[in-house]
Structure 1
Amino acid sequence: MAKVLERPAAESAQEDDLGKFLPEMQERWPDRRVELINGRIVVRELPSRTHNTIVFWILGQIFGFVTERGWLIWNDIMLHLGTQSDRYRPDLTIVPAEPRMWDQNEVHGDSTLLVVEVVSSSSSNDDHVVKPRNCGRAGVPLYLVIDTFQEQIRLLSGPGEAGYTQEVVIKFGAFLDLPAPWDLTIDTSKLVNK
């Protein structure tokens, strides 16, 4: 279950930027996923067995392709979507060998190649609505949502000011084609009955 934190009452009105409060919360909960989402700090539960199995599955599908190209797979990096924007920690972030970084802990969204989110019971709205809208605005080229509850995968592409302009939705068991620079087909048959 996710826990949404309120700003402490003692915080002054001048320090309205939750981004300044985020590092303190990350230190307070180092074993949790702490994100700034839509103007609120969210502390997520540890991933479940199913969640981790899905991450393992996607890694198996893309690992060889990614390493052949010299790209990197990061499982715990913050996305920098703009100086006054949200901060997300996707389940997987694939980047080129030398991505543009905001600092050591944040990669610019438009410098990624693919962002993957696996939906948990407390993250459905954020993973399907809030994060895609803001990742699209920040230029994240491909946003992949794997939803075991709906047994489907959504691939969003064509980032723009309103979010993403293109969407492909498939049910578990089908094939998913990732567009250039990927040109890779993912087989989702192993996800059936996860």
Structure 2
Amino acid sequence: MAKVLETYRRVCKAFPDHRAEVVNGRIVVSDVPTWEHSKITSRLLKMIFGVIAEHDWEVGERVKLFLGPQADRYVPDLTVVLGEPRTRGDDEVHAQDTALVVEVASPSSVHDDHVTKPREYAKVGVPLYLLIDPAQGIVILFSLPTATGYQHRTEVGLGAPLDLSEPWKITIDTGRLIDSDEGKTSSSE
């Protein structure tokens, strides 16, 4: 893994305008998110910003999460961190110091976002992982992390309300995350 992380650092320097992650020991380089992708995170941020401001948390986009010295490196679409998080170097935040990690799935990241990342985020104690999948028309909130995975998973169709647990205590109107009525359903766990 040390060799992969060294190569990863070189890739990040060589492609500073791209999103580079280490997922399951492989380096994944992708383009900057599309406008549609960015609108979803922007709209979510508008809905949750009051709670972020109230708690004096910080928000970052394209922030590398430190999952351990010999572990993968993820770059979520949106990361909310507690006050003054621990950092590793000047570009990585300790994953356990987050309040919320958000991914918007794209066709190339579906497996990683739905399977790999929830498992790894739970192992290191990320309290809430929110996955928005416009192609499948769903939003999933993973909570109660353990060393073997998240104990709780709530899935709703885009358009249905989704409650964020403590310390958030808010309901997200997932219908406001997208432009059209396509794919909106009201299924729940």
Superposed pair shares fold, TM > 0.5: yes
Distance across 2 between alignment mates of 1:117 and 1:125: 12
What whole-Å deviation, never above 9, does each CA across 1:53-74 have from its counterpart, x for those lacking one?
1011111111122112111111
1:153 aligns with 2:139: yes
Q: Secondary structure at the match of 1:17?
A: helix
Is the 2:44–2:177 contact (alpha carbons within 8 Å) kept by the matching residues of 1?
no
1:44 aligns with 2:30: yes
Q: Name which of 93, 115, 121 aligns with 2:79.
A: 93
What whole-Å deviation, never above 9, does each CA across 1:75-131 have from its counterpart, x for those lacking one?
121111111110000000001121122222111111100000000111100111111
Aligned equivalent of 1:164? 150
Letter paired with 2:18: R
How far apart are residue 16 of structure 1 and its match? Answer: 5.3
Distance across 1 between alignment mates of 2:50 and 2:152: 27
How far apart are residue 47 of structure 1 and its match? Answer: 1.1
Question: What TM-score, normalized by structure 1, do the two folds share?
Answer: 0.89
1:129 aligns with 2:121: no
Q: After TM superposition, which residue ranges in structure 1, 4 or more long, deviate above 4 angstroms?
A: none
Q: Give the root-mean-square deviation of aligned CA atoms.
A: 1.4
Q: What is the percent sequence identity of the aligned residues?
A: 44
Greater mean deviation of Cα atoms: 90-99 or 16-25: 16-25
Q: Secondary structure at the match of 1:76?
A: coil
Letter paired with 1:87: R
Distance across 2 between alignment mates of 1:76 and 1:16: 22
Distance across 1 between alignment mates of 2:57 and 2:155: 26
Question: Max radius of gyration: which structure?
Answer: 1
List gaps (5 residues or longer) in structure 1. Answer: 1-14
| Count of matched residue positions in the alignment of Structure 1 and Structure 2 | 180
What whole-Å deviation, never above 9, does each CA across 1:112-161 have from its counterpart, x for those lacking one?
00000000111100111111111110111100000000111000011111
Distance across 2 between alignment mates of 1:89 and 1:46: 11
Letter paired with 2:14: R
